[in-house]
Structure 1
Amino acid sequence: MITRMSMMNMILASQLLVFFICVIAEAHARKTLYTDDGICKRMVETQGYTCEEHKVTTVDGYILSLQRMPAGRSGKAADKPPVLLQHGLFIDAITWLFNTPEESLAYILADKGFDVWLANTRGTKYSSAHTSLSPNDMAYWDWSWDELVSYDLPASLSYVFNHTAQKMHYVGHSLGTLTALAAFSEEQLMNMLRSAALLSPIAHLNQIMSQPTKLAADLFIANDVYWLGLHEFIPNENVASKFLEGICRSLKLNCSDLMAIFTGPNCCINSSRINIFLNNEPQPSSTKNLIHLSQMIRTGKIAKYDYGNEEQNIQHYGEASPPLYDMASIPNGFPLFLSYGGQDMLSDVNDVKLLLTDLKDHHKNKLVLLFIENYAHADFVMGVNAKQIVYDPIMAFFNDN
C-alpha cells in the first residue's frame, strides 16, 4: 500500500525535480559544460544589466555566492529597497533568470528600481566552497534544511542588510518558502525584513496527490541508510534517473510527462527556454536534506531533522523528539504575501489551507493571498505570464510595505 512518506519532498521544493530526471539522459548528450564564469557573466551581463558577485561565509563554514543587480537595464541605479530572492531544491539563483528580461522576476524587479540580490544555497555550483571541507568530504554534506534555516538564510540576509544598511523584502519559491517560514516561526530575521512573498509555499506536506511521488517517498525512506551513504544527491542519469524510471515502470506511467506528473500540469512555461534550463540545472543537495523532507511527509509534522532514536535526538536537541516549527508562532503583524496554484501537486492546495489555518490570527491587512487556479509548481518562476499574474501584485505589495 502506498503511504505518504518521504521523497515526495525531494521533488517537493524542486519545482522540476523529476522533469530533470526524465529528460536528463537525452539532455546530457547536448548539455554544455559549465564555464568558470559566475552567474553575473553567464546570465545577467549578457542581457545588458550591471551585476556584482559577492561572497558570504556562514557560521558553519560554507561560502555562499550572492549576485547583486544594483540597477535596471537602463543603467538607472536602484531607488527602492533591496529584495533577496531565494530558490528551491535542485536549482540555484538562475531560476530567477531563465526567461527573458520581460518575464523573469529578477530583471523585472531591477527595472522597477529595486536593489536585487540573488541567493545560492550551500552545495550548489556557485556555493560549493567551504573554509575547511571539500564537496568530496562526507562531512560537507552533513546538513538538512535545518541548517539552511539556521545558517544560510541568516548569513545571506545579514550580508545584504549590512551592505545596504536597509531592511529588505524577501521572495522565496518552494523550499525557499519553507526555510523562511521556519525562521519566522522562531521569530528570527524580522529585524532585517520589510516583508516576504512566498510562491508555492511549502509547510505542511502530507496531502500531496501525486501517486508517483508517494511511491518515491516510500522507496526512499524505506532504504534511507543506503541513500545516506551517498551523502551528496544529484539527480543524474546514474542514480536518480534509474530510481525514478523504476517508479514509472511500477506505476505503468509514461515518463515523458514526469514534469506534469510530479509538479502538476504547468500551464504557461515557454518550451523554447527549456534548453537554457537544462544547461544550468540540476544542482546537488544533501541526501540528509531529502530524508528530512521525507520525514515531514511521513509524520505530517513540520519538525527538525529526526535522527531516528531518542539518544541521538537528545544529544542534538536535549529532548527525545525533534522540536517542532510552529507556524502559528509567526508574528501576526509581519507582512506576508502567499501565492499558490490550483494545479500544484507539490504545494498542494489542502496543505496550503492547513498553513492558512495556522495563520488564522494573522492581521488581515498584513496577509495577502493570491490563488491562481491554472498554475502549477513551476509556473511561478518560469511562467511566461507570471509578470502580469504574480509579479505585478508582488511589487504592489512591496510598495505598500
Structure 2
Amino acid sequence: MENPSTTILVVALLWVSVVAATRTKLQLIDDADGGICKSMVETQGYTCQEHKVTARDGYILGLHRIPKGRSGNKTPNKELPVLLQHGLLMDASAWLLNPQDQALAFILADNGFDVWLANTRGTNSSRGHTLLTPNNPAYWDWSWDELAAYDLPALFEYVNNQTGQKLHYVGHSLGTLTALAAFSQENLLNLLRSAALLSPVAYMGQMSSLFLRILMNIFLAEKLKLLGLPEFPNGQQLVKFICKTPGVDCSDFLATITGPNCCLSSASKATLFKNFPQSTATKNMIHLSQMVRMGTLEMYDYGLEDANMEHYKQPTPPVYNMANIPKDVPLFLSYGGRDAISDVNDVGLLLDNLKDHDKDKLVVEYREDYAHLDFIMSVNANQLVYNPILAFFKLH
C-alpha cells in the first residue's frame, strides 16, 4: 500500500505547481466583523466583542474579547486580562475548537479572566491595512520578525489601555516564538504578568516532521516567492482534496505534519478544518524554513551580505538570544514527547538557555504522549495542561 505521507507530499506539490503556473491566489472567504464571535462564541452562551487594533506598520488586526464567563456576573475591567495567541496557519478559532469545559478560552472566562483572542496579520479577521490590500505584494512583505516587533506590542498596548491591567499571555507554537523573541529583546515586559507557552518553538533545527522538512529542504517557499506568490497559497481546498485521497484521512494528515496527537476528538478535528489552514506570508514560511535548515534563531536572512547590511547594518542577521530573557519573568512551558514540530531536543536547547532563570519563576511541564495539537485540542488538556496554567496565573 502506498505510504500516505508520500501521497500527501505528491498531492501537495502538484497543487502548488498548479497554483504557481496559473499565478492565482485562492482567497479565504471574507470573515465579516463578528464572524468568530457569532459562529463560535455566542453560540456557546458567552458574550463576545470584536475589536480592531492597528499596528505601527499599518496592519489592522482583529481581536476578539470574551469579557465574562457564562455566569454573566463578571465585571470586565475588574478581571485580569489574558491574551491568547495562536500558531502558524491558524487563527483565534484555535482556542475554541472544543466544548466549553475543554477549550482554554472558555475555561479562562469561566474562571473569571477577561479573555482576548488575537488573530495574526493575513488571517481571515486581520486582513486590513491603512494603505495596502492583500492583493498588493507589499502587504505580504513580512515574517515573524514583524509579528514580534509590531503585532504583539500593538495587542499588548491595546488590551492594557482597555483594561488598565497588565496581561497574562498564552501562546501556542508560532505564538510562543514571537513572544520569546520579544522577551529576549526586553519588549512587552512592562505590560506582562506572566506567560504560558504551549508547544514552545524557539530552535527548530531538529524538527522531526518529515513532511515539513521535505517541503523546506526543497526550498518550496523560496520557489513560490520567485514565482511571484508573496502570499503563501491558501490550502483549504488542498486539505479537502487530501482528505478525500484514497488511503488518507484527516487524522493521518494531522499526524504526518504535527506528530501523533493522542487525544483529539472527531468533532474538534472537523471544526479545525473549517478554519485551517489560514493564510500567511511566503516570506514568513521562508524565515521558518531558514530556521529548520540552519538550526539558527535569528532574524530573516536576506541571503546576501549587502542586503543584510542594508536591513541590519551587519552582514548576517541579528540573533535572538534566549539567555537575554530577564530571569524574573514568570514563564510556564509545556511540551510534548510526540510533538513533530516543537521537538523535545529543540525545547531542550531553549531550556538550556533558561537554566539560570529564577527557579520560582519557571515552571516546565512535559507530557510524554502529547503532540503539537494536543495542547489546544486534546480532550484531557483541561486537566493536564489548563489546570496547571490556572494555578500558575493565580500565583502571578
The answer to whether the aligner puts 1:41 opposite 2:72 as a matched pair is no
2:217 equivalent in structure 1 = 218
Give the aligned partner of residue 52 of structure 1.
Answer: 49
Instruction: Give the deviation of 1:85 after TM superposition.
Output: 0.1
Q: Is the 8 A contact 1:54 1:67 kept in 2?
A: yes
Matches within 5 A, 1:134-213: 134-213=133-212
Residue 399 (structure 1) aligns with: 394
Is 2:333 aligned against 1:346? no
Classify the secondary structure of the residue corresponding to 1:127. coil
Distance 1:203 1:241, change over 3 A: farther
Residue 125 of structure 2 aligns to a residue whose secondary structure is helix
Unaligned stretches of 5+ residues in structure 1: 1-16, 25-31
Identify if the C-alpha distance between structure 1 residues 383 and 152 changes in structure 2 by more than 3 Å, giving closer, same or farther.
same
**CA distance in structure 1 between the partners assigned to 2:239 and 2:268 by the alignment:** 23
Larger RCO, structure (CA 8 Å, separation 6 or more): 1
SS in 1 for 2:216: helix
Q: Structure 2 counterpart of 1:271, which letter?
A: S
| Counterparts of 1:216 and 1:112, CA distance in 2 | 42
1:126 aligns with 2:125: yes
CA contact (8 A) 1:133 1:140 kept: yes
Equivalent residue number for residue 329 of structure 1: 324
User: Which deviations, in whole Å up to 9, do the C-alpha atoms of 1:210-232 show, x marking residues without a partner?
Assistant: 333221211135x7143352111
Write the letter of the residue equivalent to 1:53.
E
Shift of residue 310, structure 1, vs aligned partner: 0.7
Question: How far apart, CA to CA, are the structure 2 residues paired with 1:35 and 1:150?
Answer: 25
In structure 2, the residue matched to 1:5 is none
Change (3 A) 1:233 1:301: same
CA drift at 1:240: 8.7
Q: Which residue of 2 aligns with 1:110?
A: 109
Paired residue secondary structure (1:230): coil
Contact 2:236 2:276 in 1 (8 A): no
Output the CA distance in 2 between the equivalents of 1:360 and 1:38: 43
Which of 258, 263, 268 is 2:258 aligned to?
Answer: 263
TM-score (norm 2): 0.88
2:225 counterpart residue number:
227
Specify every segment of 5 or more residues in structure 2 that has no aligned partner in the other structure, as ranges: 1-7, 16-27
Match of 1:9 in 2: none
* Shift, 1:255, TM fit: 7.2
Amino acid at match of 2:152: L
Q: Relative to structure 2, which stretch is displaced further, 321-330 or 273-282? A: 273-282
Deviation at 1:340, TM superposition (A): 0.1
TM-score relative to the length of structure 1? 0.87
Pairwise CA distance, 1:376: 0.4
2:361 maps to 1:362? no
Shift of 1:237: 6.5
After TM superposition, list the pairs within 5 Å mapping 1:363-378 onto structure 2: 363-378=358-373
Match of 2:83? 84
1:310 counterpart residue number: 305
Compute the RMSD of aligned alpha carbons: 2.5
Q: Which amino acid aligns with 1:224?
A: E
> Residue deviations 1:175-224, cap 9 Å, x none?
00000000000000000000000000000111122333221211135x71
Structure 2 counterpart of 1:67, which letter? H
Paired residues of 2:204 and 2:346 also in contact (CA < 8 A): yes
| CA–CA distance in structure 2, aligned partners of residues 275 and 381 of structure 1 | 14
Distance 1:51 1:211 in 2: 39
1:34 deviates by: 6.1
Q: Percent identity?
A: 57
Q: Any conservation in 2 of the 1:195–1:336 contact (CA below 8 Å)?
A: yes
Partner Cα distance (1:334, 1:76) in 2 = 32
Letter in 1 for 2:383: Q
> 1:143 deviation in Å?
0.4
